[in-house]
A and B are shown apart, each in its own frame.
Chain A
């Protein structure tokens, strides 16, 4: 993207003034090299988002922004229902409530070194991953309804998980306002056998070592110690979320056309929050959030079982579980007034600062853990929400490195076997059912996660706490 098209607010924030049909400006948080590396589509998409009805303040793009669907991935936008605000299925995406959870093991990397291969094999054998993989839990219709209302709390009640960890999940592990009755029979059917599965693509389960502490006090509060092992899981609402996204994107696009709404991009399909279809989507989308929360809780439970089988007595306590594809009602101060707005975060992580009332007591002094995923060979980071983030982008931060190269280009460049061997030489064990999938997800296909995290930190969106490096990666 050409920097001269943007006005500099600071070295880490750039404005596109409102013009034409834009109702608000757009703001991109990144340093100059990241912006220059960004696709022009990000400019086009973030300015398109700024044209949507009822948008407040500005349309924001995070440092990892890249070409998405309607919204850029890394896009954040808030809509006020009292100003004709909209909800957009494209603004949430197909993988509703995709997110990351990180669990602490209390073990050192040295402790697990002799067990590494057994751990990799056992996790690969027991955590369903890859195309067509199914879980051991098959839900009946009443169970499906209970799961869609209860989220991770439902999973815990079924014996999959740990009740003591629920307050370390957004919304306490259960998204309120879900309407299971708005989840179609097809979405239900797609999910029947997919509970407790990782999925494919960029989804993974990683065993990681804390290799650097960047904020000692916050790291202590989070229980992160140098040389210790954590487990991070990246996955979402599986087939159910994909089907809900598919169905509502279509219905909103058709409804918009029928009611004469001209969209700059069909993929921006949206509906007034107060409209019947807007309300139906919110109910179904919240049910999909519960599906994702339950799914990650179950995958976390299986992981815990594998660890305790190999290291009796080990506990895997949850540091945090946070989603990065959502639309949530939150109160923010806008133009000096506290207002409830519908915040879309598409490939962006909520990052509540210290003192936020929705954080559990144990995290309130430090701020919310913000979990930034890597890509097999690259580092992951734990950040903490800042007080400043509230006034910057409705308490939001980046979510990952973002792709630098298309799958198409990655496939031409790398061979899966070679990627696995190269990573093995660096001490990183990869387990995957698809060699081509590994090639498409080669670490080199992603941007430098360090640069993205630095920009988030320097822009004030979230502050760096710790760096994690992979030891084992179960690739979806």
Chain B
């Protein structure tokens, strides 16, 4: 769940929502927080560490603000998972202003091994937050509808 980057801890967690799940990524940069939020998204359905990086999928998004950029990024992953029947376990994000270029590594869902719990319908704007809480500590989070 954790990864050390430039002295700061990059990590993700799930947080409770009445009917669904919240995904939260934290890290030393906006990019790592987005990468970690994507890992949390995977964790809603399966254990991210059990996903093999067999195939890479590129995702590009553009949004008027960082919060919409986060939901766009997560929704792009929800879409790729749905149409490719894949799960992703590793992510790389580059953000340049309003533009995000991301890459997700993963594999085809293996029902026996991944035992996916639930499919994500979409990332919502509930509890949506992208902030630098203090210098070098970024948080990117929202609730996802399952």
* B128 lies within 8 A of A266 (CB): yes
Choose from B18, B109, B125 the contact partner of A67 (Cβ within 8 Å). B18
How far is A67 from B119 in the complex, measured between Cα atoms in Å?
A: 20
* B119 lies within 8 A of A132 (CB): yes
Binding-face segment, A17-25, A245-253, A281-289, A306-314: A245-253
Known: A66-B19, A257-B64, A436-B117. A94 touches B109 (CB 8 A): no
The yes or no answer to B135 lying at the interface (CB within 8 A) is: no
* B68 lies within 8 A of A94 (CB): no
Which size class do A's interface residues fall under? 35 or more
Q: Which residue of B lies closest to A267 (CB)?
A: B125
Query: A residues within 8 A CB of B109?
Result: 131-132
Residues from 42 to 64 in B contacting A, C-beta threshold 8 Å: 45, 64
How far is A243 from B19 in the complex, measured between Cα atoms in Å?
A: 20
Binding-face segment, A142-150, A221-229, A336-344, A401-409: A401-409
The yes or no answer to A108 lying at the interface (CB within 8 A) is: no
Binding-face segment, B3-11, B26-34, B71-79, B89-97: B71-79
Q: Which of A66, A131, A253, A266 has the most CB of B within 10 A?
A: A131
Q: Which residue of B lies closest to A411 (CB)?
A: B117
* B119 lies within 8 A of A200 (CB): yes
- Return B12 CB to nearest CB of chain A, in Å: 14
Which size class do B's interface residues fall under? 35 or more
Number of A-B contacts (CB under 8 A): 125
Known: A403-B18, A433-B111. A253 touches B45 (CB 8 A): no
Known: A69-B126, A131-B118, A407-B20. A246 touches B75 (CB 8 A): yes
Choose from B21, B72, B118 the contact partner of A250 (Cβ within 8 Å). B72
Query: B residues within 8 A CB of A200?
Result: 116-119, 146
How far is A41 from B18 in the complex, measured between Cα atoms in Å?
A: 9
Known: A66-B19, A406-B16. A201 touches B146 (CB 8 A): yes
* A253 lies within 8 A of B82 (CB): no
The 0/1 profile, CB within 8 Å of B marked 1, for residues 32-72 of chain A is 00000001010000000000000000000000001111100
* A269 lies within 8 A of B125 (CB): yes
The yes or no answer to A385 lying at the interface (CB within 8 A) is: no
Q: Which residue of A lies closest to B109 (CB)?
A: A132
* B82 lies within 8 A of A190 (CB): yes
The yes or no answer to A305 lying at the interface (CB within 8 A) is: no
* A435 lies within 8 A of B122 (CB): no
Leading 3 A-B pairs by shortest Cβ distance: A67-B18, A406-B16, A131-B116
Chain A interface residues toward B at CB < 8 A:
39, 41, 66-70, 73, 90, 93-95, 130-132, 134, 186, 189-190, 199-201, 239, 242-243, 245-246, 249-250, 253-254, 257, 265-267, 269, 402-403, 406-409, 433-437, 440
Q: List 5 A-B contacts (CB under 8 A).
A: A243-B122, A406-B20, A406-B21, A407-B118, A433-B111
Additional A-B contact list (6), CB under 8 Å, known A90-B125, A254-B64: A130-B116, A131-B109, A132-B111, A190-B83, A250-B68, A433-B115
